[in-house]
Structure 1
Amino acid sequence: MSDEIFSLEAALNRGKSRSSGGLTVVRVLIVDDNATVRQILGDAVRVIAGADVCGEAIDSEETFDLISRAKPDLIVMRADLPGMSGLQITRSIMVRNPVPIVVMIDAQSSDPEIAFESLRSGALALIPRPVSGSETSDVIGHMVACVRTAMTRKGAQFRIPDTPPLLASFSPPRLIALIADAGATGSLMRMLDDLPPLSVPVLLSVDIDNAFFPAFVSWLDASIRQEVVAAAPSGEGVLAPDRIYVLSSEMIATVTPGATLSISAPPPGQSSAGIGDVSAADLLLFTMAQSLGSAAMAVLFGHIGNAGVSGLLAIKRIGGCTLAEFPALCPFAQAPVLASQIHASEICGSPADLAICLRDIADCHDKTGRVS
C-alpha cells in the first residue's frame, strides 16, 4: 500500500463555521410529506442545544432546492417518500454533494428494505418515523452531536503504513469482530459481498434501532453468502463457526476466555450505547483482548464517531490482528483517522482489501494453529 496521505478536511469542514453559545450550530433539513410529522421533528430539533431547522421539504424537488439554498448540515428524511423515494434522494445526494442523512420509516412497516438500502447507500442512521417527540429528540440529538464533531475537526490526516505486516505473523483468530457504526453499512456490505464464508465465528456490532433489528438481520442474511443470525438476547452461549452473529443497539456484549458470548441489558440508568463513557463496541473489543489475547481479531469500518477505536488499540497491544477501512466510503468517517492517530490499526484498506485479509488470515492456519 502507498505512503500517500489523505485528508478529511474537505468533507468535515463544509461551509462557514456557525456558533451559538459556544456550540457549532447544526442546520437540520426535515423532509416528510406529512405536516404533523414535520412539526414533531421540528419541535424535537429545536430543543437540542446548538441545532436549528433550516428548512422543511415534502418531496425531492423541494429537498434539492433547499440543499442548494439552505446548505443543511444534517437531513432527516422519510425513506419511503412518494415519487422519488428517500433511497433515490440519498443516492443522488451522496454522489452530488454528500450531506449526513438520517432516514425514517414507520416502525410497523411491512417492507423496511428501502430503509436498509438507504443505509447501504450512505445514510448514517435509521430511526422510527415519529409519533411523539421525546424519544425522537434523543436520537436526533445524538446524530447532531456526531455531525458537530465532524464539522469542527481540524484537517485530520491518515498515513497508510508503508509495508503491511505479514498475514502469517498473526495467531489464528478464535473470534472476529466487525465494528460498523453510523455511516458504515455500505462499507460492511461491500466487504461481505467479497467474503466467502469463514470458518471462524464473527460478531457484528451495528447501530440499528431495536424496532428494525429482526428485519435487518433477515435482510442481511438474504443479502450475503454467510449465514447471519441475531445474537442471543440473554445468557451465555458458544459461538458456532461459519456464522455471523449480529448485536443490536440494545445489547451489552462481552467475550469470555472460552470464546463464548455473554449478553446483558444495560445497567439501570445507563444508556444502551455502552456503560459510562465506554461504548458497547469498545467494551466488546476490550473483553476480546482480555479473554482471547492474540487470538482476537477486529475490523473497524469508516463510521462517524469514535466507537471501537480504543478497543481496537487494546487488541493490537495484546498482539491480535486489527484492521481499519481506509479510505472510508462514508464521507464523514472519523473512526479510521482516530485509529490511525493512536496507532490502533495494523492493516488498512478498502472493503475489498479487508475481505482478502480476513479470508487469508482466517484460512492460512490449519486447526492446530500452524501456518498452512
Structure 2
Amino acid sequence: MKIVIAPDSFKGSMTSIAAAEAIRRGIHQINPLCETVIIPMADGGEGTVDAMMSIMDGETSSAQVRDPLGRTISAAFGWVPETKTAVIETAAASGLTLLKESELNPGVASTFGTGELVKTVLDLGAENIILGLGGSATVDGGAGFLQALGIRFFNKQGDVLEGGGNMLGEIQSIDSTQLDQRLMRIKWTVASDVTNHLLGDEGAVTVFGPQKGVTVETLAHFEGGMEHFAEKVVEHTGLDFRLDQGSGAAGGLGFSLLSFFRPVFKSGFSIIATESSLEDHLKDATLVLTGEGKVDVQSLYGKVPVGIGRIAAKYGIPVAVFAGVIEGDLELLYAEGIQLLLPIVNEPMTLTEAMTNGSALLEEAASRLMRTYELFGKTGNNPD
C-alpha cells in the first residue's frame, strides 16, 4: 500500500512539512509497514519557501526586514546556489499572520519588507526569483515593495511619501531613476493562485481588504486610493495591467510587478507540483492524503486540495482532505476528485487551542482514518 501525503500548510499552526510528518506518524501508528511518500505543498502563500526548498535541495536563510507595520523582524527566504534561484514569500515579511487582529491597519501596512528580501537575494547574486504572493496584510498596491527597491513617490508638495494604503491617493508623481539596476537581469516567476483584477467588485480591496482591516466605512477610501495609484503607474510606465489576471494579488503587488518587471505568473500549486513530480507519484498510489487549515468555497479556486484532487481523479486515486475548519456548502468539492473531508478537531475547543495543538490533532486524525480504512478491509494485514 502506497500513500502519498501532500498537505498545504495549516496557516499559523503548521508548515506543510510539519503537517505531512504528523500525518505520516498517524498512519504508521496503525500500519508501520505502509509505504508513505511526503510531498509538502503550497499555493504561493505561507509555507512556499519550505515546500520549495525541500524539493529543490536548497537552503533556507533569513534576513532582518520590516514587517507590515515597519517593525524589524527576521524573515525567511530560500536560496539554491547552483541555479542562483531565490524563493521569497510575501507572507514572510508582509504577511497577515505577522499581525494580531487588533494590529490590522491597511492604511499603514506596507510591502516594504518583501522588497527588502529581494534586495537581500540580489546581494547574493540571484538571477531567478520565485515570488509567492499569498497571505499579505496589505492593500498598498505594492508601493512599499517598489520603495524598497529604489522607486520614490511624491505628493503635490514634492515631499517623498511613505506608508501603506493611505498614501496611494496622495501620489502626484513617480521617480524610478534610482530603481536597483540589478533587477534588470532577474527572471521573475510569480507563484500565485489569485486571478483577481486590481480594481472593482472582484478586486484587491473589495475581495481581500476586509480580512486585512478594511471596513465598510473605509472601503471607498482604499479603493479610490488604489485606483489613483494605478492611474499614476500607468501614466509613468505607459503600460496598463489593471485588468490582467493576478494584478489584484497580494493587495495589488501583482499589478506593480507586472508594471515594472513583467514576470511570468504561474499557479503556486502547479510550480510545486511540477518541481516535485507530484503526478508521477500519484499514478500508482493507493490513497492520497492532503489538507489545509481551512476548507471553504475559496478552496475551489486553485487551492492545494482541489489541485491534488483533479490530478488524482485522472488515475482513479481516492483523496482525503484534513482541515482545521470546514465551512460552507462544499458539495462542489466532491466533483473535484475529493472523496472525504475530515476535521481534525476532536472536541470543543477555541481556535487558539486548535492551532497550538495542530500537530497532535492532525496525527490523531490520520490515525483514526487509517484505523477506519483497515476496518473496512481495504488493506487487511497486507502492507502492499
Per the normalisation by structure 2, the TM-score is 0.29
Q: In proportion to residue count, which structure has more strand?
A: 1
Max Rg structure: 2
Higher helix share: 2
Normalising by structure 1, we get a TM-score of 0.30
